[in-house]
Chains A and B, each alone.
Chain A
Amino acid sequence: MWRLLRQIGRTGIRTEPAPAPDDALRHETQALGRDIIKTLGRALAIRVVDAGSCNGCELEIHATANPYYNLEGLGFQFVASPRHADLLLVTGPVSRHMEVALRRTYDAMPQPRLVVALGDCGCTGGIFGEGPATCGRVSNVIPVDVAVPGCPPDPRAILQGILTAVQGR
């Protein structure tokens, strides 16, 4: 126990300040943005769906929860069910096989709801493009509020995308 406490104490607090929102990331008019802020403030529940990514984007989403970025400290929480979620974070080009699951996840969310598409794949279909097995970008399947480019976007960019979505216009 002593060793554990010493390790925690030695590590200290490593959290860095959060990035500012960026209007350039906005994808479509966020009609719902203001409602969300009014209803929820900044305590927001996020549901992540990998709709066919290479898993690179997932690695960086995980990183947003590390002590440096401390996503939970900003009032965000990853939740296990779309029914608890205010914001859907979607990675990957949407594979044909995930199209229905993604739609159903989106439909299961209570309104108002936000969608952030993550990574070059989520924004454009990325290197995988569109084809018989992929539907391409996320907005081909569900409405997207904010799209964050990068392959993968780094954790700061992901945080910025989420904050932009939440800030509304």
Chain B
Amino acid sequence: MTPHPLLAPDLVALPCELPAWNGRTDAAAWRAAATRAATQGARLVALWGAPQEVHAAYALPEGLVWLTLPCPPSAPDYPDLSDLFPAAGRMQRAVADLWGITARGAADTRPWLDHGLWPESRGARDYPFVHVSGDGVHEIPVGPVHAGIIEPGHFRFSVVGEKVLRLEARLGYTHKGISRRFTELAPAEAHRLAGRVSGDSTVAIAWAYCMALESATGTAVPQRAQWLRALLLERERVANHLGDLGALGNDAGFAVGLAQFSRLREDWLRLSKDCFGHRLLMDCVVPGGVAADLPAAAADALRRQCDAVAGEVAELRALYDGHAGLQDRFIGAGRVEPPLASRLGLTGLAGRASGIAADLRCDQPWAPYAPLNVLMATQRNGDVAARVAVRFDEVFESLRLIRALLDGLPAGPVATPLNALAGNALGLGRAEGWRGEVLVALALDEQGQRLRFCHCHDPSWHNWPVLEHAVMGNIVPDFPLINKSFNLSYSGHDL
């Protein structure tokens, strides 16, 4: 099998659950591959660093192409890609911060994750924000500590009256050295860390990590485990959508929405605890399979809950759709038109609300999902209302999938021991989390004892810069609502 008219020569297929190829390039081929990818409409899924290397992953219809460019200390730079893929800009800045490898020719070389406080910082403590000047323009700085119960980050609004002219985010506040921590843990234990890169996406990231480790060791996961993983992933999706739908109602002044949806979410989490042992499903996906089997009685309880929640959500959707005040806040707020979305690389749930039809569960031959014919939810309006509608649609589809997964659950073991770790092996995993596509790429060291590197990529990387566009021209009081409609991860981005 050959990948798309070859982004780069000499690609090697990786033994991964989803089709993927890896290859090493030189600087010229790195740039040529990116140009080809951009003209063929491929997506840049992630760009990350490792000791003396920079990596990029592109999603093609055939699968994923992962390119590695060696950057020895004698030439610690590589050609910039941010003119082709704007989302690459911040990722390249993070590579410079964490690995000292810089993008040659990049327009923006400000530090990103580095706030000038680490022992080996290259960054300054004062961040050079872009200033907007003109009659009546003033700045509103917000954060890192926010008024609500959310993660820390800094937002700099340039406004005239109530209208936002520009928003610039500064992130990196929750950076905890996760990439380094991965290299300190035993690979077979590090799924616990992957599951804590972004707590709301614990199943998606832990699954992608385990898939990567399984691909590195050539371990085939039992079928029942794959189906149970999908069941967990869909439950995570529903839990997050229920939470967001309530919060979005609340942010638009409809407190009943929050009360109702948070009640449903609580019921949902309690049953997760009963059936899988953890409310947020942390540590349920383990290398080789899943942590525990699902008892038959639990399957019945899960089915009953799907029926109950489907009815309740349908009722609440009718309330949301019929509430003029709510719709007035939702419609038109924070709009990202499809052309802008595709130029900036908006991805996942927010992408689907702006007409970007991509969902790994539909696009790739992913074992448990292929026979279930997942129905992708898309909208074209790209506003808060569209992101609300995608969430509603995805809740119903996930409820259907949960029932189908329970009905078709294959018999057999739920885990298998990992094959031996081989030196220098590469591993790759992908999963469609509730927010969008998660990617984990890892490499074992020469002895096969430790991880040489492990990169967990959350779709928030792509969507944070687009949020800044979504807010332009809106009023400041709508920012919390627009922000919530994206609900991006700080921790998953800051690493």
Are the C-beta atoms of A58 and B319 separated by less than 8 Å?
A: no
Count of B residues near A, CB < 8 Å?
Answer: 53
Are the C-beta atoms of B175 and A80 separated by less than 8 Å?
A: no
Are the C-beta atoms of B174 and A53 separated by less than 8 Å?
A: yes
Are the C-beta atoms of A65 and B282 separated by less than 8 Å?
A: no
CA distance A151 to B278 in the complex (A): 10
Are the C-beta atoms of A55 and B117 separated by less than 8 Å?
A: no
Are the C-beta atoms of B256 and A52 separated by less than 8 Å?
A: no
One of A56, A66, A93, A96 near B266 (C-beta < 8 A): A66
Q: 8 Å CB contacts to A: which residues of B255-273?
A: 256, 259-260, 262-263, 265-266, 269, 273
CB of A109 closer than 8 Å to a CB of B: no
CA distance A145 to B437 in the complex (A): 40
Instruction: Answer whether A133 and B262 are a contact pair too, CB < 8 Å, given A56-B199, A62-B243.
Output: no
Are the C-beta atoms of B149 and A52 separated by less than 8 Å?
A: no
Are the C-beta atoms of B265 and A63 separated by less than 8 Å?
A: yes
Give 12 pairs: A residue, B residue, CB < 8 Å, sorted on A.
Answer: A7-B256, A50-B174, A53-B199, A55-B490, A56-B202, A60-B279, A68-B263, A78-B148, A95-B176, A127-B196, A129-B181, A131-B177
Q: 8 Å CB contacts to A: which residues of B160-217?
A: 172-178, 180-181, 192-193, 196-200, 202
CA distance A68 to B290 in the complex (A): 30
Residues in A neighbouring B177, C-beta threshold 8 A: 128, 131-134
Are the C-beta atoms of A56 and B280 separated by less than 8 Å?
A: yes
Q: Mark A61-79, 1 if CB is under 8 A from B, else 0.
A: 1110111100000000010
Are the C-beta atoms of A93 and B176 separated by less than 8 Å?
A: yes
Instruction: Answer whether A63 and B262 are a contact pair too, CB < 8 Å, given A55-B490, A56-B202, A97-B115.
Output: yes
Closest to B125 in A: A100
Residues in A neighbouring B491, C-beta threshold 8 A: 52-55
CB of B150 closer than 8 Å to a CB of A: yes
Within the complex, the shortest CB–CB distance from B196 to chain A, in Å, comes to: 4
CB of A24 closer than 8 Å to a CB of B: no
Instruction: Answer whether A56 and B196 are a contact pair too, CB < 8 Å, given A3-B319, A4-B256, A61-B149.
Output: yes
CA distance A154 to B145 in the complex (A): 23
Residues in A neighbouring B148, C-beta threshold 8 A: 78, 80
CB of B222 closer than 8 Å to a CB of A: no
CA distance A146 to B359 in the complex (A): 44
Number of A-B residue pairs, CB cutoff 8 Å, is: 153
CA distance A14 to B270 in the complex (A): 14
Instruction: Answer whether A98 and B118 are a contact pair too, CB < 8 Å, given A66-B262, A131-B180.
Output: no
Within the complex, the shortest CB–CB distance from A169 to chain B, in Å, comes to: 28
Are the C-beta atoms of B318 and A81 separated by less than 8 Å?
A: no
Within the complex, the shortest CB–CB distance from B367 to chain A, in Å, comes to: 28
Q: Top 7 nearest A-B pairs by Cβ distance?
A: A56-B199, A133-B177, A80-B147, A66-B262, A54-B199, A54-B196, A55-B199
Are the C-beta atoms of A4 and B319 separated by less than 8 Å?
A: yes
CA distance A97 to B490 in the complex (A): 13
CA distance A126 to B491 in the complex (A): 15
One of A8, A14, A59 near B199 (C-beta < 8 A): A59
Are the C-beta atoms of B266 and A63 separated by less than 8 Å?
A: yes
Are the C-beta atoms of B263 and A11 separated by less than 8 Å?
A: yes
CA distance A127 to B192 in the complex (A): 8
One of A52, A59, A152 near B176 (C-beta < 8 A): A52
CA distance A151 to B117 in the complex (A): 28
Instruction: Answer whether A56 and B282 are a contact pair too, CB < 8 Å, given A4-B319, A7-B260, A134-B176.
Output: yes
Are the C-beta atoms of B175 and A133 separated by less than 8 Å?
A: yes
CB of B152 closer than 8 Å to a CB of A: yes
CB of A48 closer than 8 Å to a CB of B: yes
Q: Mark A90-125, 1 if CB is under 8 A from B, else 0.
A: 001101111101000100000000000000000000
CB of B120 closer than 8 Å to a CB of A: yes
Within the complex, the shortest CB–CB distance from B323 to chain A, in Å, comes to: 8
Are the C-beta atoms of A62 and B173 separated by less than 8 Å?
A: no
CA distance A54 to B243 in the complex (A): 17
CA distance A137 to B175 in the complex (A): 15
Instruction: Answer whether A58 and B174 are a contact pair too, CB < 8 Å, given A63-B265, A128-B181.
Output: no
CB of A138 closer than 8 Å to a CB of B: no
CB of B473 closer than 8 Å to a CB of A: no
CB of B134 closer than 8 Å to a CB of A: no
CB of B119 closer than 8 Å to a CB of A: yes
Are the C-beta atoms of A50 and B280 separated by less than 8 Å?
A: no
CB of A147 closer than 8 Å to a CB of B: no
